[in-house]
Amino acid sequence: MADPAGSPGAMAQPRVLLTKEPAPQTVPASDLPMKVYEVALNTGTDSSSGLTTAGFRTAKYLPTEWHLNNSEQYHKAFAGCEQAERGRAEAKELAEYAAAAAQRAQQDSTAAVGQRLQDIHFWKAELQREIQDLDAETCLLAAQKLRLERALDATEVPYAIATDNLQCRERRQAPDLVSDEVERELLKEAELIRNIQDLLKRTLMQASNQMRSNRDHKEFCEMDWSDKVETYNIDDKCGKYSNQSTNIQFHPSSVKFEESASTPETWAKFSHDNIYRAEQEKLASINLRALIDNILHDTSEDMRKQCAAVNEAFAKHCEELDDTKHKLEHHLKKILKEIGYQEANIAALKQAIKDKEAPMKVAQTRLYDRSFRPNVDLCRDEAQFRLIHEVEELTESINSLKKKLLESEQTLRNLEDTRMNLEKEIAVKTNSIFIDRQKCMAHRTRYPVVFKLAGYQ
């Protein structure tokens, strides 16, 4: 196939020409994107086209384009000079304004730092006062806690006395082993002391927790106060900086707000909340101290009142025991006298029975001998009837005497049993009096006084 230019292979394909050489590249060409150049098309009356233009430049500017380019350069030069002159005037004005603004901003900043120092000093003083108040309140609460511990220790003796009294009274003998008023009062006393011990233990735990809370909030205030002291020193140093200071330098990275930075409102609220919570804890501690005072006063009074009630019950019961013992001893004397009389009566009855033996023998012998009368003389005469009646009378009298003797002997045995019971009861009452008076009441003299029960010793 023939070449379109008329001679096949006679001329190479036309190259695309650039208007200027590309600038040297610091980055390898392989790393840059390929630049596409557009070839101006030769069109119009002044353009050359066809086979005769082969081998010449095909991308040429037009004369109008050349004049337009020169005009643009003139205009740019004039505009650049005018802009530069205007820029110098603006720069001078800006420098003067910047100097005044910098001086004014520095003065405002110094005043702001000074105001900030006053705020920090205020909160620092408030925190310091609260720390001192909390420390003093904690010391007072510690003294009350010591009173509670002493009062709790003091309850051990009354409780030991009450339980020992109950155990001692268990050694009473029947029928004195009775649930009487003394035992009810002792049980009430033991229960009261146990309840008081539980109350004191709970109050001790509450006081310990309150002291721990006081110390925690005091620590919070101390940490806040320490931060305020450090901040005050930093801001005081910052307030003394001036343009003539020798220890100032650039810190570009400091011109920013920290993400964790607080606002003035949250900053003030933080210290206010610390002081408010500390005040609440201080108020709770004051109320707890007043409560401890009331508890110790009431518990000591209750224990002493119950102790007095127990002592009164003991005294009353001992009086009853003494009275009962005296009555038993009086009846014992009567029983002993009656036993003597009864023994004499029994002896008399036995003698009376013995005295009836001879008449009985006489009568029965008469009857026996008369039974040997012969034949018709064995007669039921008046003498026979009288002898038989005599024997019957004697037999009846002897039987009556023997019956009375049995009754008297039974009465004597009953009197002996009564005597033994009375002697046993007297021994029981003596034992009960010994337990209540010598053991229990003597032990109760060791009962602590109110001053010690209130925790002052």
- Mean pLDDT for 116-128 is 93
Per residue in 387-405, pLDDT tens? 899 999 999 999 999 999 9
* Residue 442 backbone dihedrals phi, psi, to 5 degrees: -70, -35
Cα–Cα distance for residue pair 148/44, rounded to 1 Å? 118
Has residue 294 got a pLDDT over 80?
yes
Sorted by where each begins, the domain ranges of the chain are: 331-371+379-452
Q: For the whole prediction, is pTM greater than 0.75? A: no
Residue 28 pLDDT more than 80?
A: no
Dihedral sign for Cα 12, 18, 20, 26, please.
negative
Q: Is residue 290 a contact partner of residue 402, using CB atoms and an 8 Å limit?
A: no
Lowest mean pLDDT among 102-111, 133-142, 281-290: 102-111
What phi and psi values does residue 371 have, to the nearest 5 degrees?
Answer: -70, -10
- pLDDT score recorded for residue 57: 52
Q: What is the pLDDT of residue 225?
A: 95
Residue 452 pLDDT: 86
Q: What angle do CA 99, 101, 104 make, to 5 degrees?
A: 110
**Percentages of the chain per state (helix, strand, coil), in multiples of 5:** 75, 0, 25
Rounded to an integer, the average pLDDT of 272-294 is 94
pLDDT at 38: 44
Answer whether residue 237 shows pLDDT above 80.
yes
* Length of the chain (residues): 457
Q: Determine the Cα–Cα distance for residues 306 and 79; give it in Å rounded to an integer.
A: 113
Lowest mean pLDDT among 22-31, 91-100, 125-134, 305-314: 22-31
Q: What is the dihedral of CA 277, 280, 286, 290, to 10 degrees?
A: -140
pLDDT average, residue stretch 88-100 = 87
pLDDT at residue 172 tops 90: no
Q: What is the share, in percent, of the chain residues with pLDDT greater than 90? A: 56
Predicted local distance difference test score (pLDDT) of residue 1: 38
Task: Give the Cα separation of 230 and 226 in Å (integer).
Answer: 6
